[in-house]
Amino acid sequence: MTIAEAQALVDRWIKEKGVRYFNELTNTALLMEEVGEVARIMARRYGEQSEKPSDKQADLADEMADVLFVLICLANQTGIDLTEAITRNLEKKTVRDGTRHLNNPRLK
């Protein structure tokens, strides 16, 4: 699935099942909530925080998909083409950081 197809799929789902988009501020708050859920799993599963038995059942892939879904909602409702945005962003990073990481001895 392309990014454009994902944006169209989410838009179709919202219109058919979700009734309408939540407003942008609500979706921003939801995005922060979903990112927090990913962070919680990462801190407990891969970080130094201990994982409770109930944490072990958390599905990292599903939580990441929740983040992506809400991010796509925000892009759709603000008129952002994410394919174009990520292409421009990678071009910016290439110009700015093209050799920076390659020359970083800490990454070798």
**6-64 per-position pLDDT tens digit:** 999 999 999 999 999 999 999 999 999 999 999 999 999 999 999 888 888 999 999 99
pLDDT for 97 equals 87
Q: What is the topology classification, in CATH, of domain 3-81? A: Helix Hairpins (1.10.287)
Model pTM score: 0.90
Per-residue pLDDT reduced to its tens digit, 14-28: 999 999 999 999 999
The pLDDT of residue 52 is 86
Q: How far apart are CA 91 and CA 93, in angstroms?
A: 5
DSSP sequence for 72-108: HHHHHHTT--HHHHHHHHHHHHHHHHTTTTTT-GGG-
